[in-house]
Amino acid sequence: MSLADKIKSHWRLDPDEGTGITEDAASTYDLDDINTVSNGTGKVGKCAVAVAANGEMLRHDDDSYWDLADNAGWSMWLQVESYFDGTSTRRAFTKRNQYEIWKTSAAYSPDLKLKIHPSSGSAVTVTLKSGLSTSQWVFVYFAVDGSNILWSVDGGAIQTGGALTSYKNASYKLEVGNYSGTGNATKIWNGSIDELSYWSDLLTQSEVESLWNSGNGVSFPHSSETTLVVSDPQHTHTSDTFAITQASDIVLADSQHAQTSDSVVLDTEVNLVAADSSHLHTAAHVPSEGGDGSLCMMHRNCILIG
């Protein structure tokens, strides 16, 4: 399953993309803009900036869509404000009495924490990052798997802890940059938020790392350089272009199919090998451009062009 298959909603939080800062680019859950949220330079393009003094936040009405379920999770980029007031625990992201991310009230080097509420009993809290610096971007991924909280910060190893076997559902709004719909300036994040994603399935370590992208982030729809390994018997489909630009081998094992409705481009010393009873199907063309590429046909194979 790819990132595209796992994503439920994604907000670029960029006023210059799509229909603006509130748009859900992956579904239909556009956010409400409360008090005209500011914008600034994000990890990818522009981002939302929740300014406490103006009561700025983004939110969406309560919906079971936001309730946590096994394997569901969120990812986002967060940047703390350029100053710390030392008195308030400001919320970056929350659904009250269910889950929230906030910074502690320390005047210097506060911590970033995650809290998730079970259906009964005390909330479970984990420290995502200790000692935040001003204007520091942090990438956060968290999820639940029916037994524990899982989290990763800045593309690091996915951590497991905070035993949690149930999740509380509560009738509060989903809020980006605030807590509980109060508009209380002492709760508003007073910082930046970018590339917010809601996931329906657990992300792998490599997927988290691809979203972190060495601290550069990635734009939506998510794409990255990947190695695809196909095991017998499976099908691989792409509706666009399968471009290979480095010395590579693509091996299709017994009874498998690789299909693209556009083109397979062989650029530099590429071998495309179709093994016994395999099919390579492209509706366009299979050129060998400027390289030493080859198409290798073995026993009872088909290469279909056009």
Tokens of 199: 């996931």
* Region of poorest pLDDT, from 32-36, 86-90, 196-200: 86-90
Which amino acid, residue 183? G
Query: What are the DSSP E strand ranges found in 22-147?
Result: 32-34, 38-41, 46-50, 57-60, 73-79, 91-95, 99-103, 112-116, 124-129, 137-144
What one-character DSSP code corresponds to residue 31? P
Nearest to 202 by CA among 158, 170, 168, 254: 158
Does residue 67 have a pLDDT over 90?
A: no
Nearest to 143 by CA among 152, 134, 135: 152
Does residue 184 have a pLDDT over 90?
A: no
d(CA 105, CA 186): 10
So where are the chain's domains? 3-215, 235-305
- Model confidence at 256, pLDDT cuts 50, 70, 90, reads very low
- The residues, any chain, with a CB within 8 Å of residue 289's CB and separated by 6 or more, are 265, 266, 267
Does residue 73 have a pLDDT over 80?
A: yes
pLDDT tens-digit readout, 81-110: 755 566 667 888 988 888 998 888 777 788
pLDDT tens-digit readout, 103-157: 887 777 889 999 999 998 899 999 999 988 888 999 999 999 999 999 999 999 9
Size of the chain in residues: 306
Asked if CATH classification 2.60.40.10 holds for the domain at 3-215, the reply, yes or no, is no
d(CA 219, CA 59): 22
Using alpha carbons, list the distances in angstroms from residue 57 to 215, 216, 222, 256, 274.
25, 25, 25, 50, 54
Mean pLDDT of 10-17: 96
pTM listed for this prediction: 0.72
Q: What is the mean pLDDT of the chain?
A: 76
Instruction: Report pLDDT for 84.
Output: 59
What totals of helices (H) and strands (E) does the chain contain, helices first?
2, 24
